[in-house]
Structure 1
């Protein structure tokens, strides 16, 4: 099952995002290698600077998806103000469909 992980950064935490980014990218590469990660990227503010994240991940259930999202180095560093995990149905342009 697919889940969208929608994260909003705490205001004024761009430095924390940038310093944690190498660990975050390494974690994403691991998820990608395992076939768990489908899509990932940052949300951008009006100045084009990262201000949040969106991941599309595969997990067996909502609780597993939440547990996986909690392992994100960004989450562990306290970057996020909010994290939403929602079941997702990828209808259009899904390469696996």
Structure 2
């Protein structure tokens, strides 16, 4: 079953994100066969048009809710304390049709 992970960074945690980004990307690469989608959530553009990373959105194939919780807990970002909140929900693809 697919699960959606909506992760919101703690305020002012850009340094934690940057310091753990390589390990986070390696973790995702190690689970690439289970990833439907993954990427950062972005802030609104500032006056110069720049956007910062403020969270993560992932859709991952997991056997069940316990496996989804384990996947989230083992993410290097989570282990480093980056997230203020993590919401995990079962998800079903409707469009585009596969």
How many residue pairs get matched?
A: 93
Q: Does 1:20 align with 2:20?
A: yes
1:51 to 38, 49, 54: 54
Shift of 1:46: 1.6
**Corresponding residue SS for 1:20:** helix
Shift of 1:12: 0.1
After superposition, residues 16-95 of structure 1 pair within 5 angstroms as 16-32=16-32, 35-47=33-45, 48-93=51-96
Q: Which residue of 1 aligns with 2:48?
A: none
Equivalent-residue separation in structure 1 for 2:68 and 2:90 (angstroms): 9
Q: Give structure 1 regions of 4+ aligned residues with deviation exceeding 2 angstroms.
A: none
| Unpaired stretches in structure 2, ≥5 consecutive residues | 46-50
Equivalent-residue separation in structure 2 for 1:81 and 1:90 (angstroms): 27
Equivalent-residue separation in structure 1 for 2:78 and 2:60 (angstroms): 16
Equivalent-residue separation in structure 2 for 1:77 and 1:93 (angstroms): 35
| Unpaired stretches in structure 1, ≥5 consecutive residues | none
Shift of 1:66: 0.9
